[in-house]
A and B are shown apart, each in its own frame.
Chain A
């Protein structure tokens, strides 16, 4: 924050006014170490409801670790994560999903033993009857809701541009399509907040633009988005707010214009020690 005040405010941005709503996610003094090495250190920031909030930083800055901490994949060594008003630090990912948090993964985590449609249908898990007996005996109510889930999953696939893969096995789909499949699956759980870990990595320019459009549509529907992405053009273009990390600590935050002009951020990206 001090870095930002030292910075001359950029003329076209009004950082406070752009905050869309009350904080949905609040990270307080979060840290995580691996064998004595601090991957995230004393990190605090908030994400406003309805924002597209990007986390940027050079490789090894701790972005994916931060995602894993927020979504419960890792347990923090210190600090707190508050989501939707409740302290959720260290809660299991499936509990966080029930509270309305879902994510995609930097290295794909697809259910390759299923079809594309079934992948998305797993995303409906929280909204379906998952008990044993109704499943064994195929209760009519379960079958009805399941077929609704199928339609809904198909619709989501269409929304992210995957209509032609409806019947495809996941392991026969190209990389770019799988990236979108992960987003569709996460959306199927109807999250309040969606964390996207490098959704455009490995995509060509056209595919990147398509993902960009998907993210905007999702955000417009009221889902808060936290984005980790190396494609700076995309980040600068769609973010409401940016937090820059380096060596697991906060380097800067603010609007895209503010962060882009921050000398520390520039230095970190060019490799000079801040």
Chain B
């Protein structure tokens, strides 16, 4: 198990196998839909985990970036008739530039400042989406055209399952590559001790900015594709709670573990489905999970489980 978690290729192979085999068990469109949503969340969380888990920074506004991507696709394709792929790229570039412009000055500072700034951005984005109803449809949201590329239209849960599956696979691969590189070590060093990283030549501010921009772009791309899949987007997808939900997934699944982020996203996407019976308790459960994870297993689910295994084997 530990080898699976730590070996780069083994873990990737297991993920690929699960993605490939899963449709056998997803016998109706509802199950497929849940799996697709989990996949989208996982893509965002893998990116967010690079920021939170590896670099030790926090974003309370990632849903805002997801929302910008989603609405860029919705508006540019639906209102201005852009090709979907161009809209997706435009959204990603815009988010990248925005994230850079904000992070560049703020990440020179230490402490809670990124949390505050991302909180502000996220809320402003969701207010803009709610208010500019001429373009965005306001609080009720807007319809989004299907994704078309080279004359092929992506339609139906079955097709989208594979789109999201491949996307997740690629994003996990990229994340694993990054972590196992000099830049990845620099990011983890920033988390471990900024001053120690600096004295061996790591420009800590630069790497924090880079990983922040990268994770924001991941969220934007996922948002764009989600918009085309869902066909309807609302400002709720971009609001503060959605941002907190994303942080919860990363933290619960396992900070500084790419597969942990995937597990966290999947579990917490499924949980509300399982909890619909207890809908009144949903918030309490979510809040309790957040607190309990941080207090009792601060490393998160997957790393904590992995930590148990070798000792059990010995016993």
Residues of B within 8 A of A149 (CB): 182
A110-B193, A137-B177, A138-B177 given as contacts; is B185 within 8 A of A122 (CB)? yes
For window 139-198 of B, CB contacts with A under 8 Å fall at 174, 177-178, 181-186, 188-189, 191-193, 195-198
Residues of A within 8 A of B191 (CB): 111, 113
For window 195-217 of B, CB contacts with A under 8 Å fall at 195-204, 210, 214
For window 16-33 of A, CB contacts with B under 8 Å fall at none
Residues of A within 8 A of B174 (CB): 136-137
When the two chains form their complex, are residues B195 and A73 in contact, meaning their CB atoms are under 8 A apart?
yes
Within the complex, which residue of B182, B186, B196, B210 is in contact with A142, where a contact is CB–CB below 8 Å? B182
How distant is A243 from chain B, measured CB to nearest CB, in Å? Answer: 21
When the two chains form their complex, are residues B200 and A125 in contact, meaning their CB atoms are under 8 A apart?
yes
When the two chains form their complex, are residues A135 and B193 in contact, meaning their CB atoms are under 8 A apart?
no
Q: Is B48 an interface residue (CB 8 A)?
A: no
Q: Is B256 an interface residue (CB 8 A)?
A: yes
For window 34-76 of A, CB contacts with B under 8 Å fall at 71-73
When the two chains form their complex, are residues B200 and A135 in contact, meaning their CB atoms are under 8 A apart?
no
Within the complex, which residue of B198, B204, B214, B256 is in contact with A132, where a contact is CB–CB below 8 Å? B214
> In whole angstroms, what is the CA distance A218 to B241 when docked?
54
Within the complex, which residue of A110, A126, A188 is in contact with B192, where a contact is CB–CB below 8 Å? A110
Residues of A within 8 A of B202 (CB): 94, 122, 125
Q: Is A175 an interface residue (CB 8 A)?
A: no
When the two chains form their complex, are residues B198 and A94 in contact, meaning their CB atoms are under 8 A apart?
yes
Q: Output the nearest chain A residue to B54 by Cβ-Cβ distance.
A: A113
- A: interface residue count bin: 35 or more
For window 232-273 of B, CB contacts with A under 8 Å fall at 256
Within the complex, which residue of B182, B183, B196, B214 is in contact with A105, where a contact is CB–CB below 8 Å? B196
Residues of B within 8 A of A124 (CB): 182
Q: How many residues of B contact A (CB 8 A)?
A: 27
> In whole angstroms, what is the CA distance A10 to B193 when docked?
45
A109-B196, A135-B177, A138-B177 given as contacts; is B201 within 8 A of A114 (CB)? no
Within the complex, which residue of A129, A146, A186 is in contact with B199, where a contact is CB–CB below 8 Å? A186
When the two chains form their complex, are residues A131 and B183 in contact, meaning their CB atoms are under 8 A apart?
yes
How distant is A249 from chain B, measured CB to nearest CB, in Å? Answer: 26
> In whole angstroms, what is the CA distance A113 to B262 when docked?
20
A73-B195, A97-B201 given as contacts; is B177 within 8 A of A136 (CB)? yes
Residues of B within 8 A of A254 (CB): none
Residues of B within 8 A of A73 (CB): 195, 198-199
Q: Is A102 an interface residue (CB 8 A)?
A: yes
When the two chains form their complex, are residues A142 and B201 in contact, meaning their CB atoms are under 8 A apart?
no
Within the complex, which residue of B177, B178, B197 is in contact with A122, where a contact is CB–CB below 8 Å? B197
Q: List 10 A-B contacts (CB under 8 A).
A: A73-B199, A92-B198, A103-B199, A105-B195, A118-B188, A126-B201, A130-B186, A135-B183, A138-B177, A182-B196
Chain B residues with CB under 8 Å of chain A are: 174, 177-178, 181-186, 188-189, 191-193, 195-204, 210, 214, 256
